[in-house]
Amino acid sequence: MQGLSVDEKALLQILTVLKNLGEDGHDFHDARRTWCPDWNECYEEEVTESNLELKAQSAKQILLRLKSARKALETMSSSLENVFEIVTERSTESIRSAGFSSLPDDLLARVFELHHEDVMANTGSGTGMASVSTSNVLAQVCRRFRRIALHIPKLWEDICNYHRNDWILNLKGRCEHPVVFIAYDIASGSAEESIANLLQIVHPANQWRALEARFTDRSHGHDFFERITTMSKGDLRILEILNIFHDWDRCTTQIDTVKYDDTEAHYRGIDDNCGTNFSEVDSALFSQWNLPKLKCLRIENFIPSRVNCSNLVECNLELSFQGDDFNWDLRALKIFLQSIVSVEKLKFSLWNARTRTEYMLPEGSKQIRFECLKFLTIEVGGNTDENLLWGLTDMMDLTTVTDLDILMVIRTKKWYDDDPPLEYSKPAKFLNAIFAFPSNRREETGRVFKFPNVETLRLDLKEEGQDVPFDKIFEAVPRTRDLSLELPHCGGPDVSQNLPPCKNLRNVCFTNCTSFSKAEVMRFFKNRGEEGDWEISSIQRIEIEGCNALKDHKDDFKKIFGDKLVWE
């Protein structure tokens, strides 16, 4: 470490100043007198020709003393800064440790749980590796961290066939109700062997809190359903979360690598997909599972016939492209949805999904009546068949829905270069399919609106501009209170489309609506009043963010909406 050396006379002057400062009550009323006590004495007399030389010499001496004092202070300040950095660097760990030691165990435990949840969300479910990156790491920081981590079952609940047998045994011993991940994409070794070892260790299945499986091969899917059904005998009594993902792979979709008994029934069940991407054998196995406490179900790229889950709260279903000749069967989808009528939240994700005429429901088919459905989310993209989307929304009675969220993504990547080009007009077709309410349905139900009780509506379009059919949309949702539009490069709601007045609006948010004009937005709000008068008293908040075409008119909006306007 560097030493500290300053001029003795300068140091004495600084010490004298500090002494005087203390005697003056730590307050300089005259800084010049404090640093230059002989200044006034030198210049009390009027400067004359006879004393000019003497006063000049005195001034030079004062300046030399001040420069010397300033240099000494700069040297001391630099030394102090250097020492400060060294002490900070060497004490950070001990200060941090002291800070952690002051936190109670229950607070640290909650921090560990939140960290674990964040890692799970960011890592992506299905790997089962989050438990390794959180629990194992935390347990190695220090004795206290290890002691706390070992007493938090949630940190040790994620068990996967990726793990070694000794680690699986370790996790099972620390968590009574594990979250089991089964993955067939093992880079080396046999997936079947690792899964068999896993299931043998984490038995019994009736103590699992959650189960997730991922596979690309249909035969792997059969292996999964057969194994779970056999070892559990359908008893999954406390399972709360079930995620099953058939990740489509063009190269392996038609390949069966698991050897089955050479019976006609097995092969017929696997090959006969009937627009469900799910064999009759596997569907029968799945229907044997008893799931009385299941709250959340997520299914990707297959349609089961039925699920025994009378208390289901949330269901997410994703259907995507499964090959050039594959079409999804809406009749089978209706049968599945009829088995989960107690659901409160439904989410459909459709990516390049298609159907064909014989898989559509007959016109006027009885709609599914959901008992508690409040939240409906539809994500749709690529070259998804709008007839599939129309058939999906038409098969359901949506009068109970209060929260409707529509996300459209058009520029999805093609699977291969020879795939058909994406249609520019797809989003408008999607919206027409979702919000259309044909006359035969109106006569049958006696209703005028498709979504008569929706209060919150969100429309989100990624990447493409469109002519949005606002007239059909607002006609279908007459009670909308909260409206959120994110429609880049799309024209705004134009009153020339004979828009309904939307008199129930309370909160409006326009985000990245880059092509909305001032005139369109102003007319939209003005149209709510009688005979073209402004009617904004019921509006509680209007938020405008990233709308480039409106940025020069902020003052005009402020004048009309006042404090109700939030501009970002």
Residues 11-43 have pLDDT tens digits of: 888 888 888 777 766 566 677 777 777 666 665
pLDDT above 90 (res 500):
no
Residue percentage of the chain with pLDDT more than 90: 31
Question: What does DSSP assign to residue 86?
Answer: H
At residue 132, the pLDDT reads 56
Q: Enumerate the β-bridge partners of residue 179.
A: 158, 210
Q: Kindly report which listed range (26-35, 333-342, 375-384, 392-401) carries the lowest average pLDDT score.
A: 26-35
Q: In which band, very low, low, confident or very high, does the pLDDT at 248 lie, cut at 50, 70 and 90?
A: low
Q: Which residue has better confidence, 344 or 468?
A: 344
**DSSP-assigned letter for residue 255:** -
- Give the count of domains, the chain: 1
Q: Is residue 48 part of a domain?
A: yes
**pLDDT score recorded for residue 48:** 67
Among 213-222, 313-322, 466-475, name the most confident range. Answer: 313-322
| 12 within a domain of the structure (yes/no) | yes
Tell me the per-residue pLDDT of 333-347, one tens digit each, with 9 for 90 and over.
999 999 999 999 999
In the predicted structure, residue 188 carries a pLDDT above the cut 60: no
pLDDT at residue 263 greater than cutoff 60:
no
3-class secondary structure, 298: strand
Q: Report how far residue 54's alpha carbon sits from residue 58's, in angstroms, rounded to the nearest whole number.
A: 6
Q: Is the dihedral of CA 185, 191, 194, 198 positive or negative?
A: positive
Kindly state whether residue 203 falls inside one of the protein's structural domains.
no
Assign 162 a pLDDT band (cuts: 50, 70, 90).
confident
DSSP, collapsed to helix, strand or coil, labels residue 173 as: helix
Interatomic CA distance for residues 339 and 152, integer angstroms = 36
Which carries the bigger pLDDT value, residue 308 or residue 97? 308
Per-residue DSSP letter, 135: I
Asked whether residue 78 is assigned to any structural domain, the reply reads: yes
* Residue 72: band (very low, low, confident or very high) from pLDDT cuts 50, 70, 90: confident
Residue 69 binned pLDDT confidence (cut-offs 50, 70, 90): confident
CA 56 to CA 63: how far, in whole Å? 11
Strands 241-246 and 296-300 come out as parallel
Q: Is the backbone of residue 224 left (phi > 0), alpha (psi -120 to 50) or beta?
A: alpha
Q: Which pLDDT does position 189 carry in this prediction?
A: 58
Please return the burial class of 140, using the count of CB atoms within 10 Å of its CB with bins 0-12, 13-18 and 19+.
exposed
Residue 126's pLDDT is 43
Report pLDDT digits (tens) over 502-533. Answer: 778 899 999 999 889 888 888 887 755 554 44
Say what the pLDDT of residue 566 is.
92
Q: Give me the chain's average pLDDT, please.
A: 81
Cβ 470 vs Cβ 501: under 8 Å? no
Residue-wise pLDDT for 88-147, tens only, equals 888 877 776 676 677 888 888 888 888 887 776 665 544 445 445 567 777 888 888 888
pLDDT at 20: 77
Cβ-contact 298, 316 below 8 angstroms: yes
The whole-number average pLDDT for the span 3-8 is: 76
Pick from 226, 215, 182, 225: nearest CA to 201: 182
Q: Is the pLDDT of residue 303 over 80?
A: yes
Does the pLDDT value for residue 251 go beyond 80? no
What pLDDT was estimated at residue 403?
A: 97
Q: Is the pLDDT of residue 295 over 90?
A: yes
pLDDT score of 297 more than 90 = yes
Between 50-64, 277-291, 293-307, the lowest mean confidence (pLDDT) is in 50-64
Res 122: pLDDT: 63
Q: Retrieve residue 113's tokens.
A: 């749980």
Q: Which residue has the tokens 């994703």?
A: 318
Answer whether residue 72 is part of any domain: yes
In a domain, 164, yes or no: no
Selected residue with higher pLDDT from 504 and 290: 290
Residue ranges making up the domain that contains 14: 8-102
- Cα distance between residue 55 and residue 48, in whole Å: 10
- Does residue 22 fall inside a structural domain? yes
Q: Which residues are within 8 A (CB) of 506 and not within 5 positions of it... i.e. 6 or more apart?
A: 481, 482, 538, 539, 540, 541
Tell whether 69 is covered by a domain.
yes
Give the pLDDT score at 407.
Answer: 93
Query: H helices of 153-234, where?
Result: 165-174, 191-201, 218-232
Examine the pLDDT at 10 and tell me if it is beyond 50. yes
pLDDT at 546 over 80: yes
Beta bridge mates, 215: 246
Q: What is the pLDDT of residues 193-217, one digit of tens each?
A: 888 888 888 889 899 999 999 888 8
